[in-house]
A and B are shown apart, each in its own frame.
Chain A
Amino acid sequence: MMVNDAGRTHFLKVLKEGFRYDRRKIDEYRELTIIKGCSKTAEGSAEVKLGKTHVMAGVKFGLEAPFPDTPDEGILMVNVEESPVASPEFEVGPPSIEAIELARVVDRGLRESKLVDLKELCVKEGEKVWFISIDIVTINDDGNLLDACGLAALAALQDAKFPKVVDGEVDYHETTNKGLELKKIPIPVTIYKYGDHLLIDPTHDEEIVADARLTVTTVSSGDICALQKAGEGRITTQDVEKMVELSLKKGEELRKVLEKTK
């Protein structure tokens, strides 16, 4: 996020009068579309359009040796590619620190909520476990990539079906009907701070003048399973309380949309 003084001054004035850069309220998400099964080569996939922000997530299953310290657990990995198709600021090359942060925050929400019991992914203890990779690729960046990526990862996991295993090897041409039974649906909601104002789901023009932001990942029981404060500015403890309240409320609304998506 660049600090852009002239842009910030103007947006603060707009917020003070009770507006933002489009006709939404400060706690209103843009039009949200979730489409599952958008990639036939992935074992599970979903694309999310949040306003003009557009991301796609794909799940691939593999059979690998487990990590030595968890011989009876499967492996879950989240990767985010800030593809240069999505923004003039994204470059070809290894993931930027922003892409790494995005991936790790989404990962934390999935992992800490224990939405998948990793022990259920064990095929042969010490030898073979399921390795589930969730790759999220940006297609258009118009702000708030994190929330879009979080939803895409969840929808792709909901869409995922195990491939057939023939003679101990994965046969990618055949799918089973067995999916991942997700025990929780952890939804990340990012709240952005501008001076004394908080809002959600900024467009790119709104996002680049934010002081700071806090991502709160919550599950339906009301528990928080991940937090991430980002940006160069500061937030107060009262801010955190308000942001958590808002995340719980919006997280529940987003969860309902996900549930309705086939």
Chain B
Amino acid sequence: MSYDKRIDGRDFDELREMDASVGVIPRADGSAFFRMGGTSAYAAVYGPRQTYPKFLQNPAKGVLRCHYSMMPFSGAGDRVRPGPSRRAKEISMVTTNALLPVIDLKAFPNAIVDVFISLPQTDAGSRCAGICAAALALADAGIPMTDMVGAVAVGRVDDKIVMDLCYDEEAYKDGPVADIPVAMTHRTKEITLLQMDGEISKDMLAEALEKIKGAMDKIHEKQVSALKGKFEKVKAEEKPAKI
């Protein structure tokens, strides 16, 4: 079988439409919103700050803590029961590890940086959208970072390598599928998150990891434009009602 045309009509290398903005949660020290197609994520950063109990802190260097959560109405099917599922806990952990390599922990000893990620709707690639939003929120908060991080799921549907799988592609039944979420640093294109579900040959995997670099540059462009855009004139918003 051959996967000749993508279910949503995109080119094989084409990312879904992206949206990015920062400073969207005024109470937070830094925040961002990132959307990739039908998957969107809010991220809020609180910190560096003190936390209790104190033994969670490290006197030698700072601690980064990421927490991923789907809003109950954000799943493709049934309601998602609130509370940390095993999946959410694992995603929280790999998200933390995706961002740690670029954070300068020595800049905030004895303090903790909390990153909370909350998704209002998902259509595959949720941990990747979460990481893109989190990296933006950390930059918005002024946390010292040696580089920006982007993430997207590359995959394989049948005989083709596809970029940024949507839910329907993940669920493709007519041939082998591989879903590979990847996070990369921008400058050096080093991998900070790599997971895989499905089946793929080592050659296809190598090809996928090469192809992803171009996609990462596009994501980075969106992130930078959101960060710098905050300092340009505020754009017109939906006309509010006056009571």
- Does residue A228 face the partner (Cβ distance < 8 Å to B)? no
Cα–Cα distance between A38 and B114 once the two chains are bound (Å): 26
- Does residue B46 face the partner (Cβ distance < 8 Å to A)? yes
Which secondary structure characterizes the binding site on chain A? mixed
Most chain-B Cβ atoms within 10 A of its Cβ — which of A52, A62, A86?
Answer: A86
B42–A58 contact, CB under 8 A? no
> Among A28, A39, A43, which residue has its beta carbon within 8 angstroms of that of B74?
A39
**B54-81 near A? 1/0 per residue, CB < 8 Å:** 0000000000000101011111111100
Cα–Cα distance between A162 and B64 once the two chains are bound (Å): 42
B76: A residues at CB distance < 8 A: 41, 172
Given contacts A41-B121, A85-B43, contact A31 B240 (CB under 8 A): yes
Interface residues of A in 20-77 (CB under 8 A from B): 28-29, 31-35, 38-43, 45, 49, 52, 54, 56, 58-60, 62
A39–B77 contact, CB under 8 A? no
**CB-CB nearest in chain B for A52:** B26
- Does residue A83 face the partner (Cβ distance < 8 Å to B)? yes
**CB-CB nearest in chain A for B79:** A60
B74–A31 contact, CB under 8 A? no
- Does residue B28 face the partner (Cβ distance < 8 Å to A)? yes
Cα–Cα distance between A140 and B76 once the two chains are bound (Å): 25
Q: How far is the CB of B52 from chain A (nearest CB, A)?
A: 10
B240–A33 contact, CB under 8 A? yes
- Does residue B31 face the partner (Cβ distance < 8 Å to A)? yes
Most chain-A Cβ atoms within 10 A of its Cβ — which of B69, B72, B123, B243?
Answer: B243
B237: A residues at CB distance < 8 A: 33
Interface residues of A in 122-143 (CB under 8 A from B): 133, 135, 137, 139-142
- Does residue A206 face the partner (Cβ distance < 8 Å to B)? no
> Among B27, B75, B79, which residue has its beta carbon within 8 angstroms of that of A88?
B27
Cα–Cα distance between A139 and B71 once the two chains are bound (Å): 11
B79–A135 contact, CB under 8 A? yes
A87: B residues at CB distance < 8 A: 27
B44–A86 contact, CB under 8 A? yes
- Does residue A257 face the partner (Cβ distance < 8 Å to B)? yes
- Number of residues in B with C-beta < 8 Å to the partner? 40
A85: B residues at CB distance < 8 A: 25, 28, 31, 42-44, 116-118
Cα–Cα distance between A35 and B31 once the two chains are bound (Å): 21
Given contacts A86-B27, A142-B26, contact A62 B78 (CB under 8 A): yes
B31: A residues at CB distance < 8 A: 85
Interface residues of A in 230-256 (CB under 8 A from B): 250, 253-254
- Does residue B192 face the partner (Cβ distance < 8 Å to A)? no
- Does residue B82 face the partner (Cβ distance < 8 Å to A)? yes
Given contacts A39-B120, A40-B121, A137-B118, contact A45 B73 (CB under 8 A): yes
Chosen A-B contacts, 19 in total, with CB atoms closer than 8 Å, are A28-B243, A32-B241, A39-B71, A39-B74, A39-B120, A42-B74, A60-B78, A79-B82, A81-B72, A84-B44, A84-B114, A85-B42, A86-B25, A137-B71, A137-B72, A140-B25, A172-B78, A250-B243, A253-B243
Top 5 nearest A-B pairs by Cβ distance? A58-B73, A42-B73, A31-B240, A85-B44, A29-B243
- Interface residues in chain A, defined as those with a beta carbon under 8 Å from any beta carbon in chain B: 28-29, 31-35, 38-43, 45, 49, 52, 54, 56, 58-60, 62, 79, 81, 83-88, 92, 94-95, 133, 135, 137, 139-142, 172, 204, 250, 253-254, 257, 260
Contacts A85-B28, A139-B24 aside, 18 further interface pairs with beta carbons under 8 A come to A29-B243, A32-B240, A32-B241, A38-B120, A39-B74, A42-B73, A60-B78, A79-B72, A79-B82, A83-B69, A83-B116, A86-B44, A87-B27, A92-B84, A133-B79, A135-B73, A137-B118, A140-B27
